[in-house]
Amino acid sequence: MAIKRTSSNSLVNATKMSTGFSSAAIPNAPTIGTATATSDVAATVTYTAAVLGATGTTFTATSNPSSITGTGSSPITVTGLTASTSYTFTVTAGNANGTSAASSASNSITTSAPLSSYESIATATVGSGGQSTVEFNSIPSTFKHLQVRVIARDNRVPPSGNFNNMHLQVGNGSIDTGSNYTYHTIRGDGSSASTDGAGNSTVTDYTVIPSSTAGSNTFGAQIWDILDYANTNKYKTIRMLSGTDNNGTGLIEFSSSVWRSTSAITNLRFLLSSTPSFVQYTQFALYGIKGA
């Protein structure tokens, strides 16, 4: 019996046809993995490349809605998304011959709120009986920074002038009343300026607010920024800007303080010099900041 030789090329071509693979083949669709929101405008998408068929050399994740894409190896990062929006993703594989069909859709994710936004955590308003301190406790660690906005007045009769001092103490689980604060302050009234500071204080800076001798119904305004409050690798920086006007006289003040602790801040206490009380309608509003 004669045996006919089959060429090696014919054998290779036959093999390619039987496996569905040829030099002109495109990859099969990847298997989708998990999508994860990583910020207000970005997400990552994992996938597994197909084992059979042609090799994929590029992989692209596409969002639904908006068809926003990202390329790379798993996990693929997709940026340019819209804050507070739900998305699913598919992944395709491509090579020189073309692009595969899309994978099945991923799980749904929702991007976070805009990172620059402020979210209200808590508010406090002093009632008719007055209040010697105002505290915020059990502050969540889910934000980048904290901000407190204050409109305040107290009932103390000062030794001189129309203004008194307000302070801030912080803590983790309880208020730190030790000498663990450093502060520096500059204030002015339009014609003169003064400075103050301390390296081992039991409170932050001496912030001025109107006293009982100030004009009727006069309140001072303050903004306190507490930076990286949940970061356990650094001391906590606190900055404050305040302004008070009293029928033609007034003060504006800027200060910077440090709580010399690496503990996360979970507690805030606002208090007054000596033993006065915040008067009715004094207000404190605590916000979380999601920005960088």
Tell me the whole-structure pTM to 2 decimals. 0.65
Q: Is 179 helix (H, G, I), strand (E, B) or coil?
A: coil
Order of strands across the sheet that contains 207-210 = 133-136, 267-272, 163-171, 207-210
End-to-end CA distance of the chain, in Å?
A: 82
Structural domains for the chain? 8-110 (2.60.40.10), 118-289 (2.60.120)
pLDDT averaged over 10-residue windows placed end to end, the chain, 292 residues: 42 41 82 95 97 95 98 97 96 97 98 82 96 96 94 88 89 97 92 92 85 90 96 96 86 94 98 88 95 67
Secondary structure of the chain: what % helix, strand, coil (to 5)?
A: 5, 50, 50
Residue type, position 147, single letter: Q
Mapped onto helix, strand or coil, the DSSP state of residue 86 is: strand
State how far Cα 34 lies from the chain centre: 24
Burial category of 63 from C-beta neighbours within 10 Å (exposed 0-12, middle 13-18, buried 19 and up)? buried
pLDDT at 17: 42
Q: How far is the C-alpha of 289 from the C-alpha of 239, rounded, in Å?
A: 15
3-state secondary structure of 252: strand
Q: DSSP 3-state assignment of 100?
A: coil
**DSSP one-letter code for 29:** P
- The number of beta carbons lying within 10 Å of the beta carbon of residue 254 is 15
DSSP state of 14: H
Q: Of 165, 173, 144, 145, whose CA–CA distance to 268 is shortest?
A: 173
Q: Using an 8 Å Cβ cutoff, are 272 and 166 in contact? A: yes
Q: Nearest-CA neighbor of 164 among 122, 216, 228, 214?
A: 214
Beta bridge partners of 119: 288
Distances (CA, A) of 95 to 67, 77, 91, 98, 168: 20, 20, 14, 6, 62
Under 8 Å between Cβ of 124 and 134: yes
Q: Cα separations (Å) of 177 from 124, 154, 259?
A: 22, 22, 11
